[in-house]
Structures are given as C-alpha cells and as structure tokens.
Structure 1
C-alpha cells in the first residue's frame, strides 16, 4: 500500500554521541557546509594571480555578484564594509540549501528551523548593535518607527505598526520564509520520488506503471525547480539581511 512521505522525513536518530550531546544528520551537514564553503574560496583566493585561473575566476564572479546585486543596492558604497558578512551568509545559505539535492545528504540544512532562526537572529542582533551605535537607543527606535514627513497624529498611528514590522515581524519572517520554502520543496521532491519508486519498483503493476513514470518525471522537474528556488532563497535571505543592517545605519 502506498504511503506518502510525511514529517518523518524531518525526524532523525542520532548518528553518534559526543558525551551527552546527540549528533544528528542536520548538524553533520551544517558542519560539512561550514568546511566546504571556506575551503572553496580559500582555494580560489589563496594565491591570486593577475591572469586568474578557473577557481579564482569563479571566486571573483561570486564576490562581484554579492557586492553588485546585494550589498551596494541595499547599502550603497558602505555595503563594501559588510561584504565579509553578506558574502559568507549568501554562500553558506545557498550551499546549505543545495544539500537537498546532493546524494547521499539529500536534506536541506535550512529545512530545519533552528538554522534559519540562528542566522536571522544573528542579523537581528547586528541590526540592533549598529543601529544603537549610529543613533543611540532612543534615536534608533525613533528612526525605525517614525518615518519622516508625518504629522504627530499620523506618527501615533504609524509608529506601533512600524515597531511591529521592524522588530517583531521582520526577524520572524526572515527565518520562516527560508525554512518554509526549503521544508515544502523537500516534501514535494520526496513525494514524487516515492510515487515513482512505489509504482515502478516496490509494487509494479500495468495500471500503476504510468503513474510511476509521471512520478519520476515530476521528480526531475521539481528538482530542477528546487535548484532555482534554492539560489533565489539564498539571495532573498541575504538581501533582507543587507536591507536590515543598511536601514539600521540610516543608509
């Protein structure tokens, strides 16, 4: 009998223990991503050449993309000072997303809410730190909640909404948007792959074979779409981070 995949995809038995700490698959994948991303860019930039090789070319294109498509549009030339954070954030999130389609990993690290929540929380703390440094505590809250050009009565109405948006909803949606997209995409790919496996291999029948073929075809299509979405979500996550920090600075 066909059983569609469910939330069991996101339940893991410990792979091993480090003392009292249970280490699960998402943690191992996160550590792998944390090693792979710096290793690649170390290889690209450790010995820069005037005539760049293939890895250096890729590294430079990657840097220019984050600078020209995220940092400067959101923060102006001051965004160059934040390239270390934004560059690392983009490629960490993107590579973590890509784990969903890399055998035998086949799980998006950001499909576990803890990882987007920590990253969004980091951006939130940085936003507060730079905002308070730039404007002072009261000035930062006023800057974030009182748009210029409003009358006193309009400010009284708008300020609570702006406060809710800037300090409550934005960090929440920053994390949940990435998590929910990766979570849903992983479920869809698993569903169509399970349909193909069940009707073509596990319980093949003449009537079920066409359903299995459709399942395989949709697995390929949804996986291709997921590759696109993974890159887009890394871009959007980093773009919101740049906007939040730039807005706190008053850029």
Structure 2
C-alpha cells in the first residue's frame, strides 16, 4: 500500500487525535433537560421522543377505532396490516387457540417497540426511544409479569413454579443440578437478555449512524480539497445504507421482542 493512500486513510484518525473531529459519545443518550428544568418532571430529549412516539401510537389507534370503514383506505389498511401481523404471525403462530386472550398485550408490545425503535431514523428525532435502558426495561417487566401471571392463572401458582423449576420426567438426583440452572435461566437471565438484546441493537445502530453523518459533515466542511469530498461521499453513502439497515433492525427487534413475549407466555401456560 502506498504512503499516499495510507495518509488518506489515517487522516481522520490524526485529526481526531488533534481534537479536530469529535465522534459520538455515550453522552448523547443522557442529554440535559429541555423542559421543566429543576423540577421532578424535567424532560430531556429521550423522554420527549418517547412521549411523541407514545402519543403517535395513541392517535393512530384512536383514529383507527373511531373512523374504521368496511372498505379500508391506505392508512387504515396499513394499521390493520400491523395488527394482523402481530395476531397471525406472532400470537396465533405460538399460542394457537389461546392467542385471542393475549393478543392485546402482544400487539401493544409489538407496536410500542416498533415505533420507539423507528424514531432512531426519523429526521428531527434521530434517537430511538429504546436506546436508553429505561424503556427496554419497562417492556421486559411487562413481559416478565405476563409470563408469571399467565402461568399462575392457567396452571395454578404452586404447579406453575414446580413445572418451571422441576421439569417432570427427570431423575430426582438431577434436580440438584437442574433446578438452580432453571431458576437462573428462567427468572434471572431471561429478563436480562431480553433487555440487553433490544438496548444493544438500538445503541449500536445510533452510534453507527451518528458516526457516518458526523464524519460526512466534518469531511465535507472541515477538510479541504478532493480528499475530503471523496471520503465524505463514502461516509454519506454508508450512512444512507446503514439507515436502511437500521430500519430493518428496528422492525426485526420489535418482532423478536413480541415473539419472545408470546413464546414465554406459551411456555408458562402449557403443560411440560
């Protein structure tokens, strides 16, 4: 590799070391309050994005409920498609004849995570509501409580916990090894992995997009000559490509979260 090409590749790194380029940092997820500063109700950018997303879902649901027509228009058909997807591809696929009972919960989790995730690629918002641990943790708690409550109602409290911790058909000495593992995996590790999976995907996606577009701005406006324009065009193309990929990941993670919710409920209400 020629020394000239090495200089081109290394130039952003050198400028970063000199303080010319500052990449995105973790502070983006913990911004200062924008409204009601100094009060218990102070709102920062992340909380405002979550409120906007929640309000958008409520408005869409209210319009759908109040103005639904026998022959749906494009907007109604789009909203019905999301509801039908959560009903058929998630609920009925895993819960079968018991899906109707748990469909409101599954649809709420699917739509909530979907729209919270998609705020990360919407101009003006550009940060997923699920990219800070609070929102993924709330969804996880709801899923976890649904798993336990559904199991207790369907199987009975004692029977539910016995089936989760002492799977039938296992020689009793094995329970000394299996029961602690089942307790950790079901009641400790499962909610942690559910939270971290969603959080990590949204955080990494935002950091990648921020790096691409901040790099594009820096290369276009702070570097002179054709080198800055050429490298900036590459980072711009990468940013557009990763935006499309992030939209796919946002939808995929909403589907996975709702599917795992239905799966956990199915495991809790079924006989082992």
TM-score bracket, normalised by the shorter chain, equals over 0.9
Partner of 1:151: 171
> In the alignment, does 2:199 pair up with 1:179?
yes
The aligned counterpart of 1:14 is: 33
Please say which of residues 65-74 and 16-25 is displaced more in the overlay.
16-25
Matched, 1:33 2:78: no
**Alpha-carbon distance in structure 2 between the residues aligned to 1:100 and 1:47:** 29
The aligned residue for residue 69 of structure 2 is 49
CA separation in 2, counterparts of 1:178 and 1:204?
40
For the residue of structure 1 that corresponds to 2:67, the secondary structure is coil
Which residue of structure 1 lines up, in the alignment, with residue 98 of structure 2? 78
1:249 paired with 2:269, answer: yes
2:43 aligns to what?
A: 23
In the TM superposition, residue 151 of structure 1 has moved relative to its aligned partner by 1.7
Q: Point out 4+ residue stretches in structure 1 off by more than 4 angstroms.
A: none
Match of 2:252 among 232, 239, 243: 232
Cα separation, partners in 2 of 1:147 and 1:38, compared to 1, 3 Å: same
Q: Which residue of 1 aligns with 2:10?
A: none
- Number of aligned pairs? 251
Distance 2:79 2:252 in 1: 19
TM-score between the two structures when normalised by the length of structure 1:
0.94
For residues 206 and 194 of structure 2, the distance between their equivalents in structure 1, rounded to whole angstroms, comes to 19
Asked which structure has the greater CA Rg, the reply is 2
Structure 1 residue 70: Cα displacement? 0.7
Q: Is the 8 A contact 1:44 1:58 kept in 2?
A: no
1:61 aligned residue (81, 88, 96): 81
Work out the CA distance in 2 between the residues paired with 1:73 and 1:112: 31
What do you get for the CA RMSD once the two structures are aligned?
1.6
| Contact 1:198–1:204 under 8 Å retained in 2 | no
Alignment of 1:87-102 (within 5 A): 87-102=107-122
Work out whether residues 29 and 46 of structure 2, in 8 Å CA contact, stay in contact via their aligned partners in 1: no
Given that 2:165 and 2:179 are in contact with CA atoms closer than 8 Å, whether structure 1 keeps it comes out as yes
Distance 1:92 1:191, change over 3 A: same
* 2:5 corresponding residue in structure 1: none
Contact 1:5 1:190 in 2 (8 A): yes
- Which TM-score applies when normalising by structure 2? 0.87
- What is the aligned counterpart of 2:149 among 106, 125, 129? 129
CA shift digits 1:50-89 (9 cap, x unpaired): 2222222222222211011111122122111111111111
Partner Cα separation in structure 1 for residue 133 and residue 43 of structure 2: 16
Cα distance change on mapping 1:213 and 1:160 into 2, 3 Å: same
Task: Report which stretch shifted further, 214-223 or 11-20.
Answer: 11-20
Report whether the alignment pairs 1:170 with 2:190.
yes
Assess if the C-alpha contact under 8 Å between 2:32 and 2:44 holds in 1: yes
Q: Report the secondary structure of 1:192's partner residue.
A: helix
> How big is the shift at 1:214?
1.0
Task: Look up the match of 1:210.
Answer: 230
